[in-house]
Structure 1
Amino acid sequence: MSQLNTVWNPMSLPVDDNIPDNDYSFCIDLTQPWFMSKGAMIAYYGQMNFTSLQHGLQGSLLQMVAQQFSAPLYLGDYVVAEGHGKLIIGDRGYNINAFDLDDGNLTIRASNLLAFQPQLSLQQSIVPGFLTLVGSGKFLASSNGPVMFAEPPLRVDPEALVGWADCPSPSHHYDQVWVNSFIAAAGARFGINSGEERQFDFTGSGTVLVQSSEKVRNDMSVIRTIQGQIPGLSVPGLQQINQHINQQLGQQQG
């Protein structure tokens, strides 16, 4: 019987590793609390509780979240998994990778972060749709295909970018020919662009994580980032955004 057809049990499941021959599921040997993305749990053995970060936090659990989770826009996206046993997580058939930070600093696309140990602290990145993990500990991330590690200087298609570690935040780079083109400029007015026209430009030292496709998960975190900025906008600014949204809707519905 191949590993893909193996009938697993708590004794045969791996400890903090992918299921053998299965890059799409990961088994956590739960002996301490983990922060976990809502919906990531697919099965578990043992006794476990899953507590929303927005409801039911008390005592030491509340203190842990207050100290380690400094990303208020994302409180509704995560739970704390507590208890003992084997916790199996997945993400709709995406590849799952485990990474270890050693007194490090890593920024990752919010929709790709599946789980992390509470020794790591989570912060909102200044780049919309991304989160930053700081400290030492293990975290799990999903990707559409295997992840490649690349060294700057490097330009990356935004849709292929998973994250970056120990290097400055990227800047936007726009292709000069595309910018000067009337047709492309008209497309930009309506938000039409691709990785060949717009890239993230990385400089300095560090590591950039790139998935082997240009497919991004449905990323509601970007919407929440925009919503978080709305209270600080003036009436003219809100009117301008409303006008742009109406133009976008008209183009898509036309």
Structure 2
Amino acid sequence: MVSTNPQPLDPQTLPDHDNLPGNAHAYCVRLTGPLFVQTGTMIAYYPQGGGTVRFEPLTATSLTSMVASHFSSPLYSRDWVVATGQGHVILGDRGYDINSYDLDDGNLTVRAANLLAFDAGLELKESIIPGFLTLIGTGKFLASSSGPVVFVEPPVRVDPEALVGWADCPAPSQHFDAGWMGHFLGAARGALFGTRSGEERQYDFTGAGTVLLQSSERVLEDPQVVRRLEGEVRQLGPNQLQHLSGVIQAQLQQHQQ
């Protein structure tokens, strides 16, 4: 139960790298160097010692060479800033749980909409799977999730909407339920058919590594997926565009049901 008389935050006792006391939905970072932050996630900051905290867009920063060597995803560059200075920065993400993770010479791929921040010890690259980003190196990053995160080891099949990311294991392949495939093949000559849940389609992980799952199938919309598709659409002909329009209409009808 939320207290009716919550204590105001004391800048002198803020955690350096942890959730705010009793609050899994807000995380406090003490700046010790450049920090990449997704726009819209900073909810407050406390400058330290009379200094200041600066938030510069990646597309117009004074740290051009540093950004170029640590952020290799032009598609997402407009949605991130780099924070510098001295002080504490508090991050939040629409009431989602926020956790901190450490990579030690590692390789982790995470859903782009869930990645909130990462330090300059890590390099970000765009995954070949739309909507995901890959972090490489040694450092700390923050990610949000709908509910607590569950860690599982392959081999495992997971609901795509529950997937937060995976570390040190090959990218997944898609697995379709045999019953669903039979239905799909039988209807292939008829109306358009789409998948609707993890019971019909899953991501199949094999090999060594760790898979991160959230405790809910609730997924944040990622506007960058639309940008990626817009670039592909320009290469389509009239017949392909008409087919794609039908697919989109079918998906909209499913969401309205």
Question: Fold-level match, TM-score > 0.5?
Answer: yes
Other-structure match for 2:89 = 87
Name 1:8's counterpart in structure 2.
Answer: 9
Relative distance call for 1:250 and 1:6 in structure 2 (3 A) is closer
The residue correspondences of 1:105-254 to structure 2 (distance < 5 A) are: 105-181=107-183, 185=187, 189-233=192-236, 236-246=239-249, 248=251
Contact 1:178–1:185 (Cα < 8 Å) also in 2: no
Moved more, 77-86 or 155-164: 77-86
Q: Deviations over 1:14-53 (max 9, x none)?
A: 0111112111000000121100010000011111111111
Q: CA deviation at 1:233?
A: 4.5
Relative to structure 1, the CA distance from residue 41 to residue 188 in structure 2 (aligned partners, 3 Å threshold; closer, same or farther) is farther
The answer to whether the 8 Å contact 2:192/2:246 transfers is no
**1:53 counterpart residue number:** 58
User: Is residue 156–residue 200 contact of structure 1 (8 Å, CA) maintained in 2?
Assistant: yes
Flag the 1:163–1:197 CA change in 2: closer, same or farther, 3 A. Answer: same
In the TM superposition, what is the alpha-carbon distance from 1:248 to its structure 2 partner? 4.5
Q: Residues of 2 paired with 1:104 and 1:95: CA distance?
A: 23
Q: Shift of residue 168 of structure 1?
A: 0.3
Alpha-carbon distance in 2 for matches of 1:146, 1:253:
29
Shift in alpha-carbon separation, 1:158–1:188, aligned structure 2, 3 A:
farther
Displacement, 1:185? 4.8
How far did residue 219 of structure 1 move?
2.1
Cα distance in 2 between the residues matched to 1:18 and 1:97:
8
Does the aligned pair in 1 maintain the 2:192–2:247 contact within 8 Å?
no
Structure 2 runs not aligned, ≥5 long: none
Q: TM-score, normalised by structure 1?
A: 0.89
Deviation at 1:244, TM superposition (A): 3.1
Gaps of 5+ in 1: none
**Number of aligned residue pairs:** 249
Instruction: From the superposition, tell whether residues 199 and 99 of structure 1 become closer, same or farther in structure 2 (CA, over 3 Å).
Output: same
Task: Provide Cα deviations, 1:80-131, integer angstroms capped at 9, x if missing partner.
Answer: 1111111001001100000000000000000000000011000010111000
Letter paired with 2:120: P
Q: Is the 8 A contact 1:73 1:228 kept in 2?
A: no
**Backbone CA RMSD of aligned residues:** 2.5
Of the structure 1 ranges 150-159 and 8-17, higher mean CA displacement relative to structure 2 is found in 8-17
TM-score by length of 2: 0.88
Report the residue type matching 1:163 in the other structure. G
CA distance in 1, matches of 2:74, 2:136: 16
More off after superposition, 238-247 vs 214-223? 238-247
Query: Structure 2 counterpart of 1:170, which letter?
Result: P
Structure 2 counterpart of 1:36, one-letter code = V
Give distance in 2, aligned partners of 1:33 and 1:188: 52
Determine the C-alpha separation between the residues in 2 that align with 1:51 and 1:34: 11
